[in-house]
Amino acid sequence: MGRLVELKLTMSLSIFLVAFIFALFLAAIMFILNFHPIYAIIGTMIFILLQFLIGPAIVRSSTRLRYLKPGENPWLESTVRELAEKSRIPMPRLATVPDNTPNAFVFGRTAKSATLAVHEGLLIKLNKDEIKGVIGHELGHIRHKDYIVMTVLSALPLLAYLVARGTWMAARFSVSSSKRKEEGSMRAAFFLIGIISYIVYIISLLCVMKLSRLREHYADAYSAYITKSPRNMQSALAKITYGLSLSLKPPSGARAFYIGDPALAKQEIHRIMTKKQEYDLDKDGVLDERELELAMEKEAKSTWSKINTLFSTHPPTFKRVLLLREIEREMESGRYTSDRVYAHV
């Protein structure tokens, strides 16, 4: 399918860039501490391997998901199987999460061991066509294998953050414990490592976030292709964003894996509601679907939204809807073919 190679190339470049930055970071630390670089390389590889191995277990535990038994939800099972066969990927394990917010995600070490989990709120608040669009999106992540890349890649900013916190605390502790010259030099080294670590953390995180946003657009486009209905995905995204904005729970640390980010949804809807009178065109006190759509379009173009997006795991909802609209228009024109699945990303 056309342009999928661009996603793979972007993934490869992102991995190379973050790895290169991290290599320089490790070299600087080893130089400051006068250690051999091999120890840092081995330690980093062990950390990434642990992240890869225990990541799925952490997701299962933190989300409290429950795997479905065969035949427990016939419609969901048959829909996922149908789309998985069309996608030419193995049937993922199905699970539900006891959460009333509308959301879904996939995780795993390989395509064969992948799990597709849906929140109970998604099954309740979305209709079957919209749920099918969400399933298509999640299967797109499995087909693109981007969730595996994100699991490995996100380990590097996390490690830089842990090093920064650890060295910063060590430096503060040494201040109150001794005044000797030798420990003063070590304290300065800790502070320098902490500063470098924070800089590396921010730069590498920005790279990871950019890739995360791009993969969401690709998964949205894939959903439109595999279900042949971009409009259902548009409707699903609107409901998911509004539903997530009402959640009282703090955002999960693994929110990059979800179809919608609760933190971003809250920000999007909050900014719109603070200008409710401006966007309530018919002055009936309620923002209908069209008014909300126009509001999201305007807010997506704001300077605040553009800056905030840099630190977001997901693109603004309206930008995702806009992509799906472009695909829908091309489908209606009859010019849409399998080699143009990602042409609008």
- Cα dist. 314→170, 225, 257, 263, 270 in Å? 35, 20, 10, 10, 17
Rounded CA-CA distance 206/202 in Å is 6
Please state whether beta strands 93-97 and 104-107 pair in parallel, antiparallel, or not at all (unpaired): unpaired
The single residue of 85, 120, 138, 278 carrying the catalytic annotation is: 138
Name every residue whose Cβ is closer than 8 Å to that of residue 119 and which is 6 or more positions away in sequence: 96, 97, 99, 100, 101, 102, 103, 104
Q: Is 138 a catalytic residue?
A: yes
Q: Which of 277, 264, 169, 280 is nearest to 212 (CA)?
A: 264
Q: Cβ distance 308 to 267 under 8 Å?
A: yes
Helix 74-87 and helix 181-227: axis angle, to 10°?
90
DSSP element (H, E) containing 117: strand 115-119
Rounded CA-CA distance 270/272 in Å is 5
Rounded CA-CA distance 39/42 in Å is 5
Catalytically active residues are 138
